[in-house]
Structure formats: structure tokens, C-alpha cells
């Protein structure tokens, strides 16, 4: 399969790209400023240009999109607007603008986060946009006749915990998380949100 991984140079996306590549797929990585292609998912013109540059693909995986952490009282309008434009509408628009670009029978796999179902203090904007994407996935999949649409909802990634100065566990290693994405890309399901907090059984 020819697979476009948006965010394919990041912690999660690079693991997804590596595991997809090892499974024999032809992987193209897009990042905001790195990768085989560059794109800003918060900009619809940029998404259109990405699809034009990449050409037909069989699957799109998104592990990109910014959302702002912060206590409710500290979150500014700009923080909500960025979270909505990037993590929420960025992923929604990858689907809307990609329907004509992804081959029939192909798939979109988006990324949310376990905070949407299990929030912690300081996650209002992050949880909000993740939940919005999950609602979009469940509903939009019903309208897509020729494509599958799913999301993976990761727990805190072990590498990200280490980068934050914490023990890696309890966390999910990016390589283990990537297996959820590969199972969705290669699978048959649609309209599903897969909670991925530990390695697949
Ligand atoms: N890490 C976690 O513990 C965790 C847990 C749950 C959910 N998530 C979610 O998973 C997603 C990826 O997280 P991550 O930890 O892998 O992030 P990351 O390491 O910071 O990587 C982000 C990737 O997305 C790209 N990117 C960032 N902003 C972009 C934009 N506006 N347009 C296009 N590409 C953009 C980056 O490209 P450049 O490097 O070129 O900027 C990079 O390839 C995020 O939505 C995050 O909220 C992460």
C-alpha cells in the first residue's frame, strides 16, 4: 500500500512509518518542517498542495496536530483557536480534502488521545478537540461509502514521558503504539476509536 503519514517525523508518526515500512508498505512522511513533504494541517491550502504533491495514496495516517495544555483559567483564546485549527480541523480537513485523493477502498486513520475519555487537570483544550475528532470519526464514517475512517487514541507515550522527565511506565512505547495503526490500516473496520494505552494483546 502507498501510505501517507502526516506527522511521520514525530515520536508517534516515525514509529508508525517504520513499522508500516517494515511491513512492506510504501511510506511517505509529511511534517510541518521535516519529512519527504511539508504541510501545515491548520492551513487548507497547504493540505491541498500536499495531496497534489504526493499523488494518489491508498491510506492516510495522521499523527500530527497541536493542542494546548494548560489550566482552564490560563488558556487564552489563541490556545483554543490553535487547538481547534490544528488538531481538530486539521485532521477533519485531511479527510474532507483527501476523499478525492485516496483510492477507493482506502482509509484514513486519525489520532486523538486518552485524555478525551480520562481527562486530567490542565487538559481541557486537548481533551475537547480529541473528543471532537472522535465524534467526527464515528459519524463521518457512516457517510463515507468508499473509504474507511478510524482513530487511535493513545495513552501517554513512554518516550514522551521520558522527555518530560518521568519514568517511561505506565506508558506505551511508540513501537507498540504503532501496531494499532498498522492493524487499522491493514484491517477492515471503520468508524472505530481504538484506545491504545498498552501494547496490543
Ligand atoms: N506523545 C504522546 O504521549 C501523545 C499521547 C496521546 C496523543 N498524542 C497526540 O499524537 C499526535 C502526535 O504526537 P507526537 O508526540 O508524536 O508529537 P511530536 O513528536 O511533536 O511530532 C509531531 C509531528 O507532527 C508534525 N506537525 C506538528 N504540527 C504540524 C502541523 N501543524 N502540520 C503538519 N504537521 C505537523 C511534526 O512535524 P515537524 O517535526 O516538522 O514540526 C511531527 O512530524 C499529537 O496530536 C498528540 O497530541 C500524543
What's the rounded Cα separation, in Å, for the pair 92 and 95?
A: 5
Beta bridge partners, 112, equal none
Where is 175: in which H helix or E strand? Answer: helix 174-186
DSSP characters for 49-105?
A: HHHHHH--EEEEEE---------GGG--HHHHHHHIIIIIHHHHHHHHTTTTTEEEE
Instruction: Indicate which atom in ligand 1 lies nearest the CA of residue 115.
Output: 6
Please indicate, yes or no, whether the overall pTM of this predicted structure exceeds 0.75. Answer: yes
Please report, for residues 16, 108, 154, 156, 198, the alpha-carbon distance to residue 176 in angstroms, rounded to integers and kept in the order given. Answer: 9, 20, 11, 12, 8
Cis peptide before 143 (omega within 30 of 0): no
160 alpha carbon to ligand 1 midpoint, in Å?
Answer: 11
CA atoms of 155 and 67, how far apart (whole Å): 15
Q: Which cell numbers hold the place of 158?
A: 513512554
Phi/psi for 43 (5° steps) reads -125, 110
Ligand 1 midpoint to CA 62 (Å): 9
Mutate to test the pocket of ligand 1, among 10, 34, 38, 48 (most ligand atoms within 8 A of CB): 10
pLDDT in tens, 154-188: 999 999 999 999 999 999 999 999 999 999 999 99
103-114, pLDDT tens digit by residue? 999 999 999 999
pLDDT number for residue 90: 98
Binned at pLDDT 50, 70 and 90, residue 68 comes out as very high
Pocket of ligand 1 (CB under 6 A): 6-7, 9-13, 31-34, 39-42, 63-67, 86-87, 111, 113, 154, 156-157, 160
Region of 24 on the Ramachandran plot (φ > 0 left; ψ -120 to 50 alpha; else beta): left
**Maximum Cα–Cα distance across the chain:** 48
> pLDDT digit string (tens) for 125-146?
999 999 999 999 999 999 999 9
Extended strands (E) in the chain: 2-6, 26-31, 37-38, 57-62, 102-111, 148-154, 193-196
The yes-or-no verdict on residue 58 having pLDDT over 90 is: yes
Question: What pLDDT was estimated at residue 201?
Answer: 86
Amino acid at each position: 500500500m502507498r501510505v501517507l503519514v502526516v506527522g511521520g517525523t514525530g515520536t508517534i508518526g516515525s514509529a508508525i512509518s517504520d513499522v508500516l515500512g517494515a511491513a512492506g508498505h510504501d511510506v511517505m512522511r509529511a511534517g510541518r518542517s521535516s519529512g519527504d513533504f511539508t504541510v501545515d494541517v491548520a492551513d487548507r491550502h497547504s493540505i491541498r498542495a500536499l495531496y497534489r504533491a504526493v499523488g494518489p495514496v491508498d491510506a492516510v495516517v495522521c499523527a500530527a496536530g497541536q493542542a494546548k495544555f494548560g489550566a482552564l483559567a490560563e488558556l487564552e483564546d489563541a490556545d483554543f483557536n490553535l487547538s481547534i485549527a490544528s488538531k481538530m480541523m486539521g485532521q477533519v480537513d485531511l479527510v474532507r480534502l483527501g476523499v478525492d485523493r485516496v483510492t477507493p477502498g482506502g482509509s484514513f486513520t486519525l489520532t486523538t488521545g486518552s485524555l478525551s475519555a480520562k481527562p486530567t487537570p490542565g487538559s481541557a483544550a486537548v481533551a475537547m478537540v480529541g473528543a471532537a475528532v472522535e465524534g467526527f470519526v464515528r459519524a463521518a464514517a457512516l457517510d463515507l461509502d468508499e473509504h474507511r475512517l478510524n482513530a487511535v487514541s493513545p495513552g501517554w507515550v513512554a518516550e514522551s514521558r521520558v522527555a518530560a522527565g518521568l519514568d517511561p511506565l505506565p506508558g506505551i512505547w511508540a513501537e507498540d503504539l504503532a501496531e494499532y495503526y498498522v492493524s487499522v490500516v491493514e484491517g477492515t473496520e471503520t468508524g472505530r476509536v481504538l484506545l491504545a494505552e498498552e501494547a496490543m494483546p
